[in-house]
Structure 1
């Protein structure tokens, strides 16, 4: 039986972050991956394929809206399956690159499904049914999550999809009903609508993405509706009927919605089943998420869990850093800080990114704040690229001028946010809105929005 210093279960961002940190510090590491290739859900059926699909759709849309190319592309058939093909090369590149990381750092990759026999021993069953045992001083669980499947919904029917199976859809539907208006639901509503597909977006709550700033929520709702998405709030499903002509979603309010396909995007489940976790005293909740402390330790101190298997924030970027943090605790590195100020990135069209407090939170906390805004339509770079929809909003303390929150909606929002993130992470007077006024930005750029927003906010002070 082979023994290791640490065995990482799962090769997605969380597993990779832990494995690389441990290996580079001289530990003998193995990674167990049940899928046939490296990269986890992020690479194969999550972030990479869906964002590649979005990029393809956005490119087609921009060409159709550009008078220089509109006539040439108008009659070209751009099908859903054809756009999905464009993602394959990116997936292959990402997976190959990540495999090289493990090879270069001498990390053993074990193919198969892992199950704990005790807190220091796992048994791995490969695709041929062969089993082998491995021992380790420590473990990092990074097995990710999958779409939540209610028992009463028949996901074997090709008309009922989730965020994984929609990436295997081999036709372009005329209409899709999306049940669930979280991040995944909103992203796919935006992607599919820009392909010319009719979209019903069913939200089980009062507003879209309620964790965002209210002004950003309103902007997202407006632009989705402006694109033609029909949004229905505060709705719960009653039943689903499927026949050869389509799928009918019955809502508890009495509404009936018929479409060619139904995308179920209402929640996720942690991949913790059949791993023997409960047998060794590790707590798992009803959605399959593993319970951990602030250092990502389970009830067994030598077993850590990171990434989507622990739930919020369920971001690839955060998962990678969680893996590195857990590894630092295994290595007893005192200087590694717990994650804070994690930006959100939501890849609707236009995209959204935010960091820090919202106006709603600051008002509830009775913090004296001010707002600085920059509308993209006033930026030269936005006018040149014809991406004038959007805004940057900076929230800062009226007295100290400390930056409290940054919220961006529009072109390159997920890139723009990092400038503000860098300033927010500074200590003392460096973390104030004045930084953006005293700094020279390239012109024309989208980054110039920070200077415009800062001046706008400071002009509100009296």
Structure 2
């Protein structure tokens, strides 16, 4: 039996970052990946594919130029599923090649196969050819990610009723689509297909969406979706879904009936822990397959077994998963692990993008912090005019007492890039004066920070900082 300092199950963001970190500390590391290629959900069915699909859709549809040339404008008149898939395959090949090179350069060993516990320190790996090997780890990092939640009542067929993994394999673009689930994944795919001029209806039992995002940003986002004729049926539930004459018919709990070409079920994901035989290691997952961990060390209740990434739950971001994997690996091999900065950005790659960092206005109110907001609209910037933007909003929240930035929230083109300026100021405890006194490149969308800063500064008046 081979003995390793660290066994890593899964090669997604948390697994690969943890494995490379441990290897850089001189430890013997083995990564076990059950997929055909390394990369995990992030590379093959999640983060990278969905963002590649988004970029391809926006480019081929001419979406970004429609502010100038009208809603009928297209770069490619007839866009096929193959057009979308071609760019996706090129991108995935590159991601896998980079990851394999990183493993080779850092001397991280990796094998393909399904891993399961025999005891708390030993795992069985069943390889594709049926060979069974046993490996042992002084420490073990579980970074198995998640898989789509597939309830029994949903008639999945891989063609007209699909989950988010199957959506990447469609052969033709639907003329109409119903998306069940107004979470991040559902909203991203709904808006991407809407940009391709598919008639999209979004259904969710909750009467609100994206409750962790600043309410004003969500309201602006919803306005943009409705303005382009996307139907939002919030507070309604699909009780019955049946195939009918090549279409799909849905019956909602209020009696309403919908007929569509395709249904995407995107109402949640499950931790991919069901095949790990967790009981043999003294562990158990919750009802959604997730593992409970110490939020500072990512250790499970079994001290030498760690878990990181989507399998531990919110925020389920590739960026935060990487940090979790790195911290878990350092703790696992006995190295010091510094706590990451308090504020991290959250990005939603919908059309338009949403990105946020820090406290929302609702959270500031709950904490009874005296505050003021500054708002800038992208159409107020010269760059916005050049790009033909008539939408887009940047909002910053400042403390009246300390004048420090408390939160930055953006909806619009480039939001996931722009947010990092606000993130840096937040973590460095900067004040409104930073935005008022600093010079930004002209013309850029980043000028919106100065506009919003001045907006807040004017409202704050002569209130002096108590720093």
TM-score range, shorter chain: over 0.9
Q: 3-state SS of the aligned residue for 2:460?
A: coil
* Deviation, structure 1 residue 235: 1.2
CA RMSD, 1 decimal: 1.8
Alignment equivalent of 2:329, drawn from 320, 327, 330: 327
Q: State the alpha-carbon separation in 2 of the partners of residues 72 and 231 from structure 1.
A: 25
Find out whether 1:151 has 2:152 as its counterpart: yes
Classify 1:378/1:72 alpha carbon distance in 2 versus 1 (closer, same or farther; 3 Å): closer
Aligned to 2:139: 138
1:158 and 1:62 map into 2 onto residues whose CA distance is: 27
1:124 is matched with: 125
Q: Which runs of 5+ in 2 are unaligned?
A: 462-467
C-alpha displacement of 1:406: 0.5
Match of 2:368 in 1: 366
2:373/2:396 contact within 8 Å kept = yes
Secondary structure of the corresponding residue to residue 347 of structure 2:
strand
> Where does residue 214 of structure 2 map in the other structure?
213
Structure 1 residue 336 and structure 2 residue 338: aligned?
A: yes
Correspondence for 1:392: 394
The 1-side partners of 2:195 and 2:270 are apart by 29
1:314 equivalent in structure 2? 316
Could you tell me how far 1:109 is from its partner in structure 2? 0.6
1:247-267, Cα deviation, whole Å (9 max, x unpaired):
111111211111011100100
The reply on whether 1:459 has 2:465 as its aligned counterpart is no
Distance 2:70 2:288 in 1: 48
Number of aligned residue pairs: give it.
459
Kept in 1, the 8 Å contact 2:183–2:267? The answer is: yes
Residue aligning to 2:53: 53
Change (3 A) 1:200 1:67: closer
Contact 1:63-1:70 within 8 A present in 2 as well:
no
Q: In the TM superposition, what is the alpha-carbon distance from 1:335 to its structure 2 partner?
A: 4.8
1:211 counterpart SS class: coil
- Equivalence for 2:98: 97
Match of 1:25 in 2: 25
2:465 is matched with none
Deviation at 1:80, TM superposition (A): 2.9
Q: Which residue of the partner structure matches residue 409 of structure 1?
A: 411
Superposed, 1:60-459 pairs within 5 Å as 60-62=61-63, 65=66, 73=74, 76-294=77-295, 295-338=297-340, 340-427=342-429, 431-459=430-458
Residues 339, 151 of structure 1: CA spacing in aligned structure 2 closer, same or farther, 3 A cutoff? farther
**Structure 1 CA distance for aligned equivalents of residues 366 and 138 of structure 2:** 46
Deviation at 1:70, TM superposition (A): 9.8
Q: CA distance change for structure 1 residues 391 and 71 in 2, over 3 Å: closer, same or farther?
A: closer
Partner of 1:34: 34
Indicate how the Cα distance of structure 1 residues 136 and 437 shifts in structure 2: closer, same or farther if over 3 A, else same: same
* Alpha-carbon distance in structure 2 between the residues aligned to 1:332 and 1:420: 34
Aligned to 1:12: 12
Following superposition, the deviation at residue 157 of structure 1 comes to 5.0
The alignment partner of 1:221 has SS state of helix
How far did residue 62 of structure 1 move?
3.5
What is the distance in 2 between the residues matched to 1:209 and 1:71?
30
| 2-structure distance, mates of 1:72, 1:58 | 12
Structure 1: runs of 5+ lacking an equivalent: none
Which segments of structure 1 move beyond 2 Å, counting only runs of 4 or more?
60-76, 331-335
Corresponding residue SS for 2:11? coil
Q: Distance in 2 between matches of 1:69 and 1:207?
A: 31
1:370-394, Cα deviation, whole Å (9 max, x unpaired): 0011111010111111234111111
Name the SS for the 1:460 alignment partner.
helix
For residues 66 and 374 of structure 2, what CA distance do their matches in structure 1 show?
31
Residue 39 of structure 1, CA deviation: 0.7
Give the TM-score taking structure 2 as reference length.
0.95
Task: Quote the offset at 1:425 in angstroms.
Answer: 0.8
Q: How high is the TM-score relative to the length of structure 1?
A: 0.96
Aligned-partner Cα distance in 2 for 1:7–1:364: 43
- Whether the 8 Å CA contact 1:49–1:91 is kept in 2: the answer is yes
Report the secondary structure of 1:115's partner residue. strand
